[in-house]
Structure 1
Amino acid sequence: MIKLDQFLKWVGVVSTGGEAKLLIQDGEVQVNGTVETRRGRKLVPGDVVLARGQSYEVAEDGES
């Protein structure tokens, strides 16, 4: 599993944890079609994250 803020950094949506925090708190990130405001949300394989107009699917090994 990987946390939402870490995933956003890993896929390159943001460059810092602070940037991820603001993006998430502002309601600009969706997980599986629902706005997610918890940066510590644990993602599992198959989850789909939508941020800044791009969609990313969490793969089995944590990759997108």
Structure 2
Amino acid sequence: MKKEVFIDTPYITLGQMLKEESVISTGGQAKWYLRENTVNVNDEPDDRRGRKLYPDDTVDVPDAGSFVIRSKQGE
């Protein structure tokens, strides 16, 4: 089951999402983490920490699970 990540902005970057979900402890670790691990965004590998994630995007992180981006604005 995919964990929902709620955002109240138009998008969140991949690095920010990894930090918010405690996959990494600091934003500075994102570059290293993405170089060492294959993270899939919408079923395609992506290693850009600045990749913009929009509502309904899916992210699969090794050993951390699957995430889907949701907008808080729809509440």
TM-score (norm 2): 0.72
Structure 2, gaps ≥5 residues long: 1-10
- The letter for the 2-side match of 1:30 is N
In terms of Rg, which structure is larger? 2
1:58 aligns with 2:58: no
2:34 to 8, 24, 43: 24
Structure 1, gaps ≥5 residues long: none
Percentage identity across paired residues of the two chains:
41
* CA RMSD after TM alignment: 1.3
Structure 1 CA distance for aligned equivalents of residues 59 and 42 of structure 2: 6
Q: How many residues align?
A: 61
- The structure with more strand, counted as a fraction of residues: 2
Higher RCO (Cα < 8 Å, 6 or more apart): 2
- The letter for the 2-side match of 1:20 is A
